[in-house]
Structure 1
Amino acid sequence: MRKHGRLILLTLSTWLSVQSAGAAAAVHHARTRHSSKAVSPPVTTAVQASHPMGAAHHDLESHAAESVVVHTNVSSATGVTNSTPGGGLMPPQTVAKSRSGITRDFIAKQSPTSNPVAMIANLPGVVYSGNDPLGTNDDQQGLSVRGLDQTEIGYLYEGIPSAAPVYLLPYTSSTADNENIQSITLTQGSPDITSPLYNAVGGELSESLRDPSHKFGGLANFSYGSFSLKREFIRMDTGDIGHTGIRGFLSFSARTADEWRGVGQTRRYHVDGKFVKEWGEGNKASFIISYNDPLQYYLRAPTKSQWSRYGVNYNYADKFTKGSSNYYKLQENLHRTLILGAPVNLSLGHGLKLNTTPYFTYATGYDNGGTTLSPDGSYYGNQPAGTLQNTGAVGNNSFSAISIDRYDLYYSGLNTTLSWQKGNNTLAVGYWYSYFDQSEPSLYEALGPDGQVSSMYGQWAIKTQDGSLLSQYNIHLIQQTNSLFINDTYKAFNDRLTLTAGFKETMVTRQVTQNIPGANYQNGQSDAAPLPQVAISYKITPHDQIYVNGTTSFRLPASIMSYVDRYSVSTGVQTRSHTVNPKSEYAIGEEIGYRHTGLVNVSLALFNYNFTNRQINTTTYASGTPVTESINGGGQTARGAQIEVGLRPWHHFSPYVSAQYLHATTDNNLQVGNDYIRSAGKIAVKSPKVTVAVGLSYDDGSLFGAFNMNYVSKQYSTFMDDESIPSFETFNLNFGYRFHNYMYLKHPQIQLNLMNIGNSGFLSGVSGLSTNAKATKGVYGTTIAGSAPTYFVGGGFAGVLSFTTGF
């Protein structure tokens, strides 16, 4: 059997190499013959094989990876070079683990309104649960990779951890505008050992910002489309500033659009900036700033019965009814962020290199919802609140109010790696420290006679009879993270064999207070995890590589609510008890893979993962406000295979196919009250067995277009597998035309994006999980009542027309 396997591998490798050589010769001949038709002088592009972004912190084993030099006749204002296989969906990789990515060749052709989570939907193992067709609502969308949700995927922006350290939702619109993203890389299954992450049991998503141009100039984009979309973007590059060696850019964008279902208008203002200084050989210092100011409304998440009855019309009311809490303006939410970073890469000589990234992020905002309160029968914690103050008009012994979840988040840190290369060996040591401070009080504010809200921040909040602010929770959390790591890479046989071993010890401490009558005041947790990694890769030929790796990772519960008591404001009954020392999720994974690069690019991987204390996030509601909860899903096993195939541009065409098969099961019976549901052996939630993506792009330098299709099979939404959403497909299309330079306009172009073609709405993912949807008998014979899961509703059809030009 082993001989047959080797024969098959050798045959496949030989065939692909022959095809690559023959087709490359044909392409060279065709380009030579038609060189007079080129729209611009040929551009030489160096594509980093192992890590296209060139981020400050990346796999140490890939430092000496080769570059693939590609000649292309495409020149554009948007950064498209038409050099990446698969139309920008398959940049070459050499690191000894599963890794995929997208480059400007793909990013620039997507709708300017899309976000990074939506753009990676074609990569192997990715399930994107969109909640609107334009990709603007990243507060209510789902992402999973190999069945692991977005809070289990580490998110880096220029080496900066960009997801809030407790909730861990990516909020990808908080980082760069699409025009400024150079590339995005997804590492499925495990993070890099140098990455400043402690939650990445499902992999790592890394976003890289473009470097400023050496020449003065800029870019402008104007987009209009469905749902009254209007978006403007402008960027200015300083070029090289005198003889300082400094160059930079600043950009600004503004966007407004209506919600695709229901009512309400969203808006977003965004600023990006990057300044760079390079000197000597391998020395670079950068300063990065991103500011985001979005406002939007929550879309109502239906149960399956509500979806069957109302479809896309299951929405919040567009008009206020006295005594009702179902008014859409009460669902307003805002997540304003400021990200600052200063990556520095220094070449110290004698094989020594120092990479360090200090960073600071501030986030503030609110998540609001509607509720009704009793003026004299409400509770503050477990104590009667007495006669409430600031209630406004009261009728039928109740009044409508807005439930306000206000928060302020500060997180900063420093990640440093010192590496030393001596001969065939590279040794690296590093340290990461992070400090996180979160304040999150809940408040209530009475509505005006027509449903008006005086202050979304609760400036005129309702008070109890003794003057205290009526609140369901008043939480303050401080988290400190310390991480030490060491990594050694050895290369042999003319760099054909690469051996890597590393060890990381991550220590996390949380201190939490809950200042509500009757609640446990102080709670916390300290945990440390040993995280070894090993990897071996071997280049069979310059175009063929095999690899195997073993990795570990861990994650604490991704919810501040796990640590505190909560009481019903209407009854004073305790609705949630704080968890003492909740168990951390720990994962052990193994992969074996094969890659071929050339005209035809192939990547294959088999993977196996074992989890203990699997932490699964779900959405619940507290007084009408959505909050994130964490469920301990016990043990889980996941096994599967993925494949990726992409063609380098050939006669201007670049096809791409990716697919994954996943078999993930729950290993334990889960506790519900004093009994257990019989969940052992059931298919894991949010883990479709089959995902497929197909793409075809065309770009001749002037005319361009692409088609992408995604298929996702059935997904379970309960641990008992008694409710699921059916499989679905999405179809997206884009096409456009680049014009010749005209006066001060450089490579102006027009582009049309059509999203969700043929869809009028579908269930795209699970929003709120349930242990069981139907009543079931537990292990001890207790009848355990069912509860209905809720779902994301995938967006209907939308179109976006964009005009872009450099200057």
Structure 2
Amino acid sequence: MLLGSPAWAADAENDGGTDIQVIGHPDPEGLLPDQTAPKAVSAISADFITKQAPTLNAYQLVNLLPGANVSTSDPYGLSATSSLTMRGMGQDAIGVLMEGAPQNDIGYYVAYPSQFADAENVRQVTLAQGSVDIDSPVVGATGGLLSLTLDDPRPESGALVNLSAGSYDERRVFVRLDSGTIGATGLKAFVSYSNNRADNWRGAGYDKRQHVDAKLLREWGDGNRASIAVSYNDASTSSYPSPTLADWNASGRGFNYDRRYTPGSTSYWRLYRSPFRNIYFAAPVHLKLNDRLTFDSTAYLQFGHGNSPYGTQLTTTGNYLGTEELTQAVSLPGAVDGVATVLGNWTGKQVRMGDVSKLTLRAGAHTLTAGLWFDRGTDRVTQSYTSIDDRGRPVDTWGYQDKAIRTADGRLLAYENFRTVIVNKGFFVADSIALTPRLGLDLGFKGVSVLRNGRNYLPGPQSRVRFDSFAALPRAAVHFQLDDRQQLFANIATSFRAPSEFTLYDGYYGGEVVSRGTTALKNEYSVSQELGYRYIGPSLSFSLTAFHYHFRNRQVATVIDNGGALVNSTINAGSQTSYGLDGEIDYRPAKGMSIYVSGEYLHARLNDDLPVDGDYLPTRGKRAVASPKFQFALGTTYDDGRLFGSTALKYVGRQYSTFMNDESIKGYATLDLAIGVHLAGLIDAQRMDLRLNAINVTNPRVLSGVQTIGSNALDTVGRNGTVIAGAAPTYYIGSGRAFVATLSRAF
């Protein structure tokens, strides 16, 4: 079927000539929009998004695209415990933009998809698996770029209401209001509000999320436009515990936090609820200054505050603040025999602002671009402690300092306490040259500097820290249009990533420095190449891309247990080489029908032994962690104007969790289904849909991804003869089956 004739042609006489009319079928699934960029790019559009469960976050939505490996802990995408890797590169190596503004954590690079815009407001999600655009305001995006584009306000006033209910007491309300064009101003706006709540699908607890999106748009003249987009998120979500392989074999999905509080226990579920509030502003502007010159700018502003708490115990005596011993007892409400169970806080407060601007000049065969990027942010991280009552309920879940436990002399009792100012600056120049009407050459250069000034507020040998780095990033690409439907492209690009903020600071335990902060770690630097082919037909479209990467100082994201709190960190894995193939096909055999297939083959190998405790693990030649050799996806859609439905099947191969390849998780598959009916015309002419989504319908009991990456799970003899003790990695438990019904009504 996939190789069948994609179209038919009808001859017609026209002034003595022959007019060839090609009749095909548009893409109803929205999974393979036409692309012309000289690099691998995949995307999903609103046609696909509107058929999915409205609770899904951006990571879950791109799961079918080639190279995207998504691990989620809950079916509704509410929990912050999730992961996205592409071509074996972790989420801290994937840049994320929304309306052109960066969404990655300024200190640790990861992004949090549960905070992004509601799916009803997203027009397209684009996934660039390799190099990012030269003007993208991100650092460390060696793994590619995920970009969300919000829907524009509609020219006519109206409203949209979505009501959803589902498994695990899922309840969601979404309301969007469009102003239409406001008088003679030319302004259009929309604002939306959603409220989502669901019980944890395993264990005790529940998730809550309130979200507001808004956009104000003005368009005028020949393509000029300016807009302001706002996205506000207020959520309180549960953390799911991540088992080791032994935990999983012993307890399976029963590996959860306690449903009831027992005095002295630190595993009560209420001690692991994370509250977060974030607000993002983005103001993209496009101005056509004359027929040859355009100006583009995106200014952004972000605020965020939240807590990732955990249960722990403190004693009234024997405490330290950094390296300083506290000689006076600490007052701990509820202490029994000098010991109290408390809430450990991992609080973060971030403020970020920036702007990326460029001028583009078309001069004959050349399209010249030059631009600047400036980005400044502050990250305040504190690990403090808060009392709980006799029922195990925290006095304050946010970890505010005015309610936290203090020393006898009034200082904040903290395990970590630092503030970092991060300044990113960049410039870029590029030239796109039309060598012939069909052959194009792109040349570009980007220079990026990363400056971190920090202060460690804990007593000890460290006070001020400073890290300053610059990277030169050249690139080139070739694009050849074989004919109106076929394209060839090739590119070579460079990327870098500075070590995360966490590596700068000393770590303390028992009054001793147990880990030294350093500014001597080297940047990860990568050189990548792609060679690709695209065919864009009326009923059949496909692309195939071969890729190759070479990394120096490969930084691999992991999570460490820092005094009970799970903290993002990185491991330097040395040199690595990766290569493989990405492919995707979209076949539309009839109107309203679409079949989409994607796949990836990935060969990722470590080139160096891993230094551990003064010795070297024999990791040279081992497979890279969290890098499945094969992935496949199959998606189908049917929509005849009355009935519609879709399927989404994804298979992910075996993934290693240690650099020694001595522990792994098996391959697994998931299947999502949707069925619905368009009700417009039965009641009135307004759009009205009823649909049922089945998420992970086959309900496989699997580990879906690696959360904590380890060097070796088993005791291993190093190159120099030292026995290097093993440590068990931890994993994400794949989410369970869920059903959600949605009634969507436009007014």
The AA in structure 2 aligned to 1:175 is: F
Instruction: State which of 78, 88, 105 in structure 2 corresponds to 1:147.
Output: 88
Q: What does the per-residue CA deviation read over 1:272-291, in whole Å, with 9 as the maximum and x for residues that have no partner?
A: 00111011001001011110
Matched, 1:591 2:530: yes
Contact 2:78–2:237 (8 Å) recurs in 1? no
Aligned-residue RMSD, C-alpha = 1.9
d(CA) in 2 for partners of 1:301 and 1:432?
A: 39
Instruction: State which of 269, 278, 293 in structure 1 corresponds to 2:219.
Output: 278
d(CA) in 1 for partners of 2:562 and 2:529?
A: 40
Instruction: State which of 443, 463, 482 in structure 1 corresponds to 2:406.
Output: 463
Tell me the equivalent position of 1:111.
53
Contact 1:263–1:328 (8 Å) recurs in 2? yes
d(CA) in 1 for partners of 2:607 and 2:676?
A: 50
Tell me the equivalent position of 2:18.
none
CA offset at residue 158 of structure 1? Answer: 0.7
Contact 1:190–1:203 (8 Å) recurs in 2? yes
Count of equivalent residues:
735
Contact 2:532–2:544 (8 Å) recurs in 1? yes
d(CA) in 2 for partners of 1:333 and 1:564?
A: 24
Q: What does the per-residue CA deviation read over 1:51-92, in whole Å, with 9 as the maximum and x for residues that have no partner?
A: xxxxxxxxxxxxxxxxxx9999xxxxxxxxx9436x211111
CA offset at residue 740 of structure 1? Answer: 2.0
Q: Secondary structure at the match of 1:342?
A: strand
Tell me the equivalent position of 1:485.
428
Distance verdict in 2 for CA 1:519–1:444, change over 3 Å: farther
d(CA) in 2 for partners of 1:414 and 1:150?
A: 23
CA offset at residue 452 of structure 1? Answer: 2.0
Tell me the equivalent position of 1:661.
601
Tell me the equivalent position of 1:57.
none
Q: Secondary structure at the match of 1:242?
A: coil
Q: Which runs of 5+ in 1 are unaligned?
A: 1-14, 27-68, 73-81
CA offset at residue 350 of structure 1? Answer: 3.5
Distance verdict in 2 for CA 1:229–1:519, change over 3 Å: farther
The AA in structure 1 aligned to 2:394 is: V
Distance verdict in 2 for CA 1:350–1:721, change over 3 Å: same
d(CA) in 2 for partners of 1:363 and 1:105?
A: 32
Tell me the equivalent position of 2:678.
738
Instruction: State which of 580, 583, 588 in structure 2 corresponds to 1:648.
Output: 588
CA offset at residue 574 of structure 1? Answer: 2.8
Matched, 1:306 2:306: no
CA offset at residue 572 of structure 1? Answer: 2.6
Contact 2:385–2:404 (8 Å) recurs in 1? yes
d(CA) in 1 for partners of 2:366 and 2:209?
A: 48
Matched, 1:634 2:577: no
Instruction: State which of 525, 528, 544 in structure 1 corresponds to 2:486.
Output: 544
d(CA) in 2 for partners of 1:248 and 1:446?
A: 45
d(CA) in 2 for partners of 1:89 and 1:640?
A: 22
d(CA) in 2 for partners of 1:212 and 1:132?
A: 32
Tell me the equivalent position of 2:448.
506
Distance verdict in 2 for CA 1:281–1:680, change over 3 Å: same
The AA in structure 2 aligned to 1:500 is: D
Distance verdict in 2 for CA 1:575–1:324, change over 3 Å: farther
Matched, 1:579 2:518: yes
Distance verdict in 2 for CA 1:519–1:230, change over 3 Å: farther
Tell me the equivalent position of 2:550.
610
Contact 1:424–1:490 (8 Å) recurs in 2? yes
d(CA) in 1 for partners of 2:503 and 2:59?
A: 26
Tell me the equivalent position of 2:14.
none
State how 1:335-734 maps to structure 2 within 5 Å: 335-456=276-397, 457-458=399-400, 459-494=402-437, 496-558=438-500, 560-568=501-509, 571-598=510-537, 599-648=539-588, 650-734=590-674
Tell me the equivalent position of 2:714.
774
Q: Secondary structure at the match of 1:498?
A: strand
Matched, 1:252 2:200: no
The AA in structure 1 aligned to 2:707 is: S
State how 1:163-242 maps to structure 2 within 5 Å: 163-242=104-183
d(CA) in 1 for partners of 2:492 and 2:465?
A: 35
How high is the TM-score relative to the length of structure 2?
A: 0.96
d(CA) in 2 for partners of 1:783 and 1:70?
A: 69
d(CA) in 2 for partners of 1:467 and 1:115?
A: 43
CA offset at residue 771 of structure 1? Answer: 0.3
Matched, 1:84 2:20: no
CA offset at residue 517 of structure 1? Answer: 1.4
Distance verdict in 2 for CA 1:745–1:296, change over 3 Å: farther
CA offset at residue 541 of structure 1? Answer: 1.1
Tell me the equivalent position of 2:728.
788
Tell me the equivalent position of 1:19.
5
Q: Secondary structure at the match of 1:19?
A: coil
Matched, 1:266 2:252: no
d(CA) in 1 for partners of 2:355 and 2:679?
A: 45
Q: Secondary structure at the match of 2:5?
A: helix
Distance verdict in 2 for CA 1:534–1:486, change over 3 Å: same
Q: What does the per-residue CA deviation read over 1:16-60, in whole Å, with 9 as the maximum and x for residues that have no partner?
A: 8x93332x779xxxxxxxxxxxxxxxxxxxxxxxxxxxxxxxxxx
Distance verdict in 2 for CA 1:519–1:709, change over 3 Å: farther
Q: What does the per-residue CA deviation read over 1:519-545, in whole Å, with 9 as the maximum and x for residues that have no partner?
A: 411212111111111000111111011
Q: Which runs of 5+ in 2 are unaligned?
A: 12-20
Q: Secondary structure at the match of 1:191?
A: coil
Identity across matched positions, percent: 37
d(CA) in 1 for partners of 2:22 and 2:310?
A: 53
d(CA) in 2 for partners of 1:792 and 1:679?
A: 24
Tell me the equivalent position of 1:297.
238
Distance verdict in 2 for CA 1:25–1:446, change over 3 Å: farther
d(CA) in 2 for partners of 1:182 and 1:462?
A: 47
**615-624 or 412-421: which moved more?**
615-624
Distance verdict in 2 for CA 1:744–1:576, change over 3 Å: farther
Q: What does the per-residue CA deviation read over 1:598-648, in whole Å, with 9 as the maximum and x for residues that have no partner?
A: 111110011100001111111112232111111111111001011111023
CA offset at residue 747 of structure 1? Answer: 1.5
Q: What does the per-residue CA deviation read over 1:232-270, in whole Å, with 9 as the maximum and x for residues that have no partner?
A: 000000001001111110000001101111111110000
CA offset at residue 384 of structure 1? Answer: 2.1
Q: What does the per-residue CA deviation read over 1:326-367, in whole Å, with 9 as the maximum and x for residues that have no partner?
A: 111111112211011111100000400000011101011111
Tell me the equivalent position of 2:16.
none
Q: Secondary structure at the match of 2:59?
A: helix
Contact 1:533–1:552 (8 Å) recurs in 2? yes
Contact 1:745–1:806 (8 Å) recurs in 2? no
Q: Secondary structure at the match of 1:473?
A: strand
CA offset at residue 744 of structure 1? Answer: 6.7
Matched, 1:288 2:229: yes
CA offset at residue 308 of structure 1? Answer: 0.3
d(CA) in 1 for partners of 2:514 and 2:56?
A: 38
d(CA) in 1 for partners of 2:700 and 2:142?
A: 35
**478-487 or 386-395: which moved more?**
386-395
Instruction: State which of 72, 77, 99 in structure 2 corresponds to 1:158.
Output: 99
Q: What does the per-residue CA deviation read over 1:188-215, in whole Å, with 9 as the maximum and x for residues that have no partner?
A: 1110001111111010111000011100
CA offset at residue 696 of structure 1? Answer: 1.2
Contact 1:659–1:692 (8 Å) recurs in 2? yes
CA offset at residue 425 of structure 1? Answer: 1.4
d(CA) in 1 for partners of 2:329 and 2:142?
A: 46
Tell me the equivalent position of 1:755.
695
